Amino acid sequence: MSLTVDDRLLEQARQGEVDDAAFVACVRDSLPYAWQVIGDVVGRMRASDDGFADNQVPPPDEKARGELLRALASDAMRGALERHFGVRLAFQNCHRVAAFAPGAAGTADRHARFVSPRAQLLNQSPDLIDC
């Protein structure tokens, strides 16, 4: 299961639309490692001059790796995180998360390079074979 959903939030979902803030809180509480990595990347991106930062540190264990994969593989979760943090996220392998500041000079080109097949191939490593 990707998320730990409390009864109130589940009932809200059964009744209709779910508030983004409540969904983001559920993601934060359910996937603390993923939240920490994404929050760190976003913080470093905001502190940079080029509107970009990424994480290149592999997760410490399979549980952490699974959290990051679940958070970024889900369109709903990734979209909610992007809206919450006001960024565009990109993902390579099992751990390389990047944040891009929308509208920053050069961000579109940098994002296009980061998500290109070339970048994916160059980011391969025998250490990451199980990603």
The DSSP secondary-structure symbol of 54 reads E
Check whether 88 has a pLDDT greater than 80: yes
- Per residue in 51-80, pLDDT (tens digit) is 899 998 889 999 999 999 999 999 999 999
Delimit the domains of the chain by residue range. Answer: 32-126
Q: Which residue has the tokens 């990047």?
A: 98
pLDDT computed for residue 1 by the predictor: 57
CA-based torsion, 64, 34, 56, 118: positive or negative: positive
> Coil, strand, or helix at residue 96?
strand
> Can you state the angle between helices 75-85 and 62-73, rounded to 10 degrees?
80
pLDDT computed for residue 109 by the predictor: 77
Beta bridge partners of 52: 100
Check whether 129 has a pLDDT greater than 80: no
pLDDT category, 112, cuts 50, 70, 90?
A: confident
pLDDT computed for residue 28 by the predictor: 97
What is the overall mean pLDDT for the chain? 85
Task: With CA atoms as reference, report the closest residue to 42 among 107, 96, 104, 86.
Answer: 86
Q: What is the rounded CA–CA span in Å between residue 11 and residue 1?
A: 18
pLDDT category, 119, cuts 50, 70, 90?
A: low
